[in-house]
Structure 1
Amino acid sequence: MGSEQGTSKPLFDSSLDHNPDSVRKNDHIRLALQQQKAPKRNAFDDMRFVHHALRAVDQASVSTATQVCGEEWPLPFYINAMTGGSAQAGEINSLLAQAAAASGLAMATGSQHAALRRPELEPTFTTVRDRNPSGFVFANVGPTVSPEQAVRAVNMLSASALQIHINPVQEAVMSEGDRDYGTWPERIRAIAEAVPVPVVVKEVGFGLSRPTIELLASLGISTVDVSGRGGTDFAVIENERRTDRDYWYMDNWGLSTVLALLTASQPETVPGVALLASGGVRSPLDVVKALALGAQAVGVSGHFLATLTAHGVSGLVDEINDWASQVRALMSLLGARKVADLRHSDLLITGPTAEEARLLGVDLPALARRSAQ
């Protein structure tokens, strides 16, 4: 839908997009939406809260505020990186930014590489700041850009912070992807030193292991988004874009969001590193589960894109407001007056996630009795 009501033109009209960068971005949107049509079980379903009937607190006493990159957000979830770099992607960014402005959510753009290569594509990203002039906005680049290009990306959006996405699995499957990963750590260090805003390093749906987070900490990174398996699968997307689909076996590669959070935060979070989480977040309950595992805030992409596509800006704003109300209700039930209190809730981890977590040394029985400690 081209407007909030979806009556003027299709939202995903790609007829004006012909250059390779834009065609690839449109492929990503189309294939990501296809994955949203069949919601699937993921590792969040291996996680349950222990219910304590007399520990609930008044909802009026609950604060959903959280601290991210030195700023206070009113809600502990945000619109995570999706798109940009084509006409239809620009329209999506514009509508997402309207929803972010109306609801007070932070928002990230997709990778700005296309605009750094083709200045004519900058409006598909700058519309985010135009539509949301005072909101918290993440710029987005990968580790292959120069520090100077990273600064340009930040300035392009007057960004509040910068996401550096790391996506070796996607690049490996992508026909036109990068193949040189060895310089990425030092490039990340150089970008973080050059830009004038906080930096978040995030995966794109394959998870950050604890050793990776420890390495990032040594590079001067103080916030990471573990962005695990369970949501949009870019290995599947890039394999679908290949004529022979010969990377079919890469489905479900990586660490789930839950497993990445478990290993990142148990027995304690990597010193000096704040956690964000994304990947497979389908509901307010998934948000609260991720917060209970140590995330300061939770990114949502696919679900919000599908909601926007089906119901327009007003429908997405209604959904965000519903999620905010439900997160507050769940925190109340769990006796959490503030987000940090969720980290003392008792958790039951079962199924495949429990098996994987044990192999990685996570003390699951201790998680089930955290409130007694």
Structure 2
Amino acid sequence: MSDPTNDRKIEHIRAIERDPSTDREQRYFDRYHLLHRALPELALDEIDTQTTFLNKKLSFPLLISSMTGGDHELVNTINRNLAIAAEATGVAMAVGSQRVMFTSPDARESFSLRQYAPSTVLIGNIGAVQLNYGMGLEQAKEAVQCLGGDGLYLHLNPLQEAVQPEGDTDFSNLQQKIAALAKALDVPVLLKEVGSGLSPADIELGLSAGIRHFDLAGTGGTSWSRIEHHRRKDGSDLGLCFQDWGIPTPKALQLAEPYQDRAAFIASGGLRDGIDMAKSVILGASLCGIAAPLLKPAMESADAVITEIERMRREFTTAMFLLGAQNVPALFRNRALILEEC
């Protein structure tokens, strides 16, 4: 018998393949111009892009953002290729929602990735709203154990759930449950939006729940509202109406500035190259999440993913060189490197 949760994973991928406009390509980071240095007083090969996240060293501050998981050969291929590439290039990886492994046990294979990425950062993922629908500490532990994860995303997706035909929309009183889970789990819990951004009020609630890592995941890139629009059968345009709803990622980073000394922030949503990554680090991101540009390569091979990651590494390194920043700390929160915001 078919599992609806599992089927959704493939429906999401097919919607992205059929409709290129699910990637909104808003290019919000283009509004920030950086201060070019014609005399950087550095050699390009002196640039050190290394950083540390969740107590592990990464080659540069890239996170392969959450995409998928489930009982399907395409999904297995995607996650396996992403994990192999993450390990080979020394970057972090987060998986898609692991809820499916509790409704379709064969889906666990798509999340058993530590064998392909023995040393790099891996982050598990379950929906925070599922804490109101029977999921709890045991399932969270199981999700982390299956992945061999260094942390666990609790993703927040009220817009997606509101548009999704079978969406779970009871987001009431989640903060207390998040706090209890974060206290009991052996690995850090990270709060993550899925493409509409986290507001200062959201960050405040997270901090009071003991959360110290936030993936801001703003608008500008993949629109899950538009993806879910393709799954509706009632003729409603609700998903299109809200396809660009939310806080642009660079604005979300600015809004998070007062909390920078109390938490670490991941910038994701609409980042497309190494220049966007450099701007994100300047605005306060400890890590930069990218998903959409890696999905098609992941369907092809691990080598194709590695090629894309190495492209972004070259771009990020070159941006640092042209800013006169020898290492990531010289870039991080250095607002003097922003020439102007258009």
Q: Does TM, normalized by the shorter one, top 0.5?
A: yes
Whole-Å separation in 2 of the counterparts to 1:327 and 1:225: 20
* Preserved CA contact (<8 Å) 2:24 2:222: no
Is 2:15 the counterpart of 1:25?
no
Whole-Å separation in 2 of the counterparts to 1:165 and 1:256: 18
1:217-236 equivalence runs, <5 A? 217-236=207-226
1:156-167 equivalence runs, <5 A? 156-167=146-157
CA deviation after TM superposition for structure 1 residue 19, in Å = 2.3
1:183-202 equivalence runs, <5 A? 183-202=173-192
Whole-Å separation in 2 of the counterparts to 1:134 and 1:123: 19
1:7-22 equivalence runs, <5 A? 18-22=2-6
User: Which residue, out of 115, 124, 127, partners 1:139?
Assistant: 124
Distance 1:68 1:91, change over 3 A: same
* Preserved CA contact (<8 Å) 2:79 2:298: no
* Preserved CA contact (<8 Å) 1:56 1:333: no
1:221-260 equivalence runs, <5 A? 221-243=211-233, 244-247=235-238, 248-260=240-252
Q: Runs (4+) of structure 1 moved beyond 3 Å?
A: 33-39, 268-271, 348-351
TM-score normalised by L of structure 1: 0.84
Identity of aligned residues (%): 36
User: Which residue, out of 161, 166, 176, partners 1:171?
Assistant: 161
Whole-Å separation in 2 of the counterparts to 1:303 and 1:292: 22
* Preserved CA contact (<8 Å) 1:213 1:270: no
CA-atom RMSD in angstroms? 1.9
* Preserved CA contact (<8 Å) 1:222 1:274: yes
Which runs of no fewer than 5 residues in structure 2 stay unpaired?
none
User: Which residue, out of 284, 291, 303, partners 1:294?
Assistant: 284
Range that drifts further, 168-177 or 95-104: 95-104
1:1-373 equivalence runs, <5 A? 18-34=2-18, 36=20, 40-87=25-72, 88-126=74-112, 128-143=113-128, 144=130, 145-243=135-233, 244-247=235-238, 248-265=240-257, 268-309=258-299, 311-342=300-331, 343-344=333-334, 345-351=336-342
TM-score normalised by L of structure 2: 0.91
Distance 1:149 1:84, change over 3 A: same
* Preserved CA contact (<8 Å) 2:101 2:107: yes
CA deviation after TM superposition for structure 1 residue 150, in Å = 0.7
Q: Aligned pairs, how many? A: 331
Distance 1:186 1:35, change over 3 A: farther
Query: What is the letter of the counterpart of residue 182 of structure 1?
Result: S
Whole-Å separation in 1 of the counterparts to 2:214 and 2:41: 31
* Preserved CA contact (<8 Å) 2:56 2:120: no
For residues 305-347 of structure 1, the C-alpha deviation after alignment (integer angstroms, 9 at most, x for no partner) is 12334x5321221221222122112111111112121222432
For residues 183-236 of structure 1, the C-alpha deviation after alignment (integer angstroms, 9 at most, x for no partner) is 221121122112111221110010011221122111100110100101110011
Whole-Å separation in 2 of the counterparts to 1:303 and 1:349: 27
